[in-house]
Every structure is written in C-alpha cells, then in structure tokens.
Amino acid sequence: MTELANLNYVKASFIQMKKHPVFNERWLQDRIAEDPSILGLGDLVLKDKERIHSGAGRLDMLCQDADANRRYEIEIQLGKTDESHIIRTIEYWDIERKRYPQYEHVAVIVAEDITSRFLNVVNLFNGFIPLIAIQVRAHQVNGTISLLFTTVLDERTLGLVEEDEEVAESTDRSYWEKRGTKATVGLADDVLELINASEPKLVLKYNKFYIGLADSNGNSDNFVIFKPKKDWLRIEIRLPQDSAIESKLEDAGLNVLEYNTREGRYKLRLTKADLDRHHDLISDLLKSARGDYQG
C-alpha cells in the first residue's frame, strides 16, 4: 500500500495512430502479433497475418485460442469504424468458418473510435453473428507509448438449456423411448443412480429436446443432460474445459464427441459397457459438475 502511495501521477497524451507516421496500422498489427493476449481475449496464438482471401482482400490477423477449438478473425481499423469495415470483417469471418467448420469462429473488430452508430448497427445481428468490438487507444507517457484495449461490444452468449426451461415443451418417458429405446432411456436411469448417491435426490425431467434433472420441487438442475439414441446415450456434462479431464477421458477410451465452449459442456457417447467399465470416472465427473466433489 505504501509503494502505491508513493507513485507519481503523470498525465498521458493521447496519440491518434491514424495520423501518426510511425505508430500506424502496421505498427499496431505487429504489436498484437507479438502478443495477442493484449487484446484481452485470453491466451491466443497467432495463426496468420495478412491472410489472402481470393476475391475478398486480406484478413489482417487470424488467431486461435491456445486451449479451445476457437478461432478469431481480427480486422484492424484506425480512426472511426465505418460500414465497409463491418462488412469486410463479417465477410472474412464467413469465409473462414465455411473453410474450417471444425472450429468455432468469432469476428473481431479493433478500432480507435467505435461510434454509437456502429454499435447500433452491430447490435441488430449480434447473437446471430459472434462479433466482438474492441476500442484501442495509444497513450504517450514520459517518452514511452502504451496501448489500452477496451472491449465495448462482447460476443452475446446464447442462453443455456436450463435458462429456457419455462418455455421448454414437456414430454414423457414414452416419447424418449420412441426417439431412443427403452434400453438407452434406462441407461439414463443408471447414470441417475450415480448422481443420487449424493443428497439431495434428483429425478429425470423429460423435455422435447433433452432429458434434464429436477429436484423434488420441480426446479431444474441441469449440470448434466441426456439425449437417448437408438444404440447409445449422449450425455452432456457441464464442466470447465480442462486438460486433466480430457487426459482421463482419453486414457479411459471414452468416446468424446466434442467440448461445447458456448455451453461449457463435455459431450460423451455412452453405452452400457462404458458405464460398467468406467463407473468411478463417470461418477467423479458428475460429482464435479454438481459441485460436491471432495477428492
């Protein structure tokens, strides 16, 4: 605290990079390329710069999340944002997501001045197109220059399944036995037994698009959901993405369909044999997801 009190206040000077002969767009791009984490989007790895798109120009930067299956198409504009910049950014995002559908893709606009008109336009489709707008400011202090990145428009997160519970169409067990089989719905019962080894007890709640969980009062508690198929059960466990978890799943030989970063869930393809063979591992994952794991 004493050290902070001894710090001197120095007024910083704002530098307009668009008009500067040295600290220009190329300079800014190089600084981001050296350390993409300065954008505030997490641990990013530079994938490409000035990426050529036939007939559409060059994408300023393509970065990839070091820990997730997600890519960021980044466009830089000094000065004020304009309509052509929005269109160009979305166009590059669209090209990349069609070319590499195995990744999640997010469009990112970095500009010195993100105007209210720009935000009004972008808000019309944010949620349908994952888009992030970051305002960058350059400041001069005592002969040095620093960059400040501020996210003014974040990617809109779509609601999770349990948040849509009030409008979810209820079904019954027979509905899911027809969509799957009695055996695969019964496998959900077996997983529920693992869950109910802990208190309080939960029950299966049958909805049109998934089988969730509910307490004795009917309140949803969907840390795991089920989607019975004809020959197997798809279970989606809500857990933060973690390399240790993935190593355990890989070592066990469980069939991991994907990790859904938007909903924060591991999606597994589960059979009766899988549950019998990996009873303890699945039980531990469920306990962690529920929040009562002690070991």
CATH pick for 161-290 out of 3.40.630.10, 3.90.1150.20, 3.40.190.10, 3.40.50.300:
3.90.1150.20
Q: Can you give the pLDDT at residue 69?
A: 80
Nearest-angstrom CA–CA distance, 203 and 106? 37
pLDDT of residue 72: 95
pTM above 0.75, yes or no: no
Question: What is the reported pLDDT for 238?
Answer: 93
Distance CA 117, CA 75 (A): 18
* C-alpha to C-alpha distances, 169 to 104, 118, 165, 179, nearest whole angstrom: 29, 38, 8, 15
Burial per residue of 166-202, b for 16 or more beta-carbon CB atoms within 10 angstroms, e otherwise? eebeebeeeebeeebbeebbebbeebbebbeeeeeeb
Distance between CA 101 and CA 237 in Å, rounded?
Answer: 23
pLDDT in tens, 87-117: 888 999 999 999 988 888 999 999 888 887 7
Separation between Cα atoms, residue 120 and residue 100, nearest integer Å = 30
Give residue for tokens 């049958």: 206
- Predicted confidence (pLDDT) per residue in 205-239, tens digit: 999 889 999 998 888 899 999 999 999 999 999 99
pLDDT under 70: residue ranges of the chain: 1-6, 125-127, 156-169, 292-295
Domain ranges within the chain, ordered by starting residue = 8-153, 161-290
The pLDDT assigned to 168 comes to 52
User: Residue 263's pLDDT is what?
Assistant: 78
Which CATH code is given to the segment(s) 8-153? 3.40.1350.10
For residue 126, what pLDDT is reported? 58
Closest residue by Cα to residue 48 from 1, 110, 92, 101:
92
Q: Check residue 17 and give its pLDDT.
A: 81
Judged by DSSP in three states, 283 sits in helix
Q: Does the bond joining 228 to the residue before it have cis omega, within 30 degrees of 0?
A: no
Q: According to the model, what pLDDT value does residue 295 have?
A: 36
Amino acid 156: pLDDT: 59
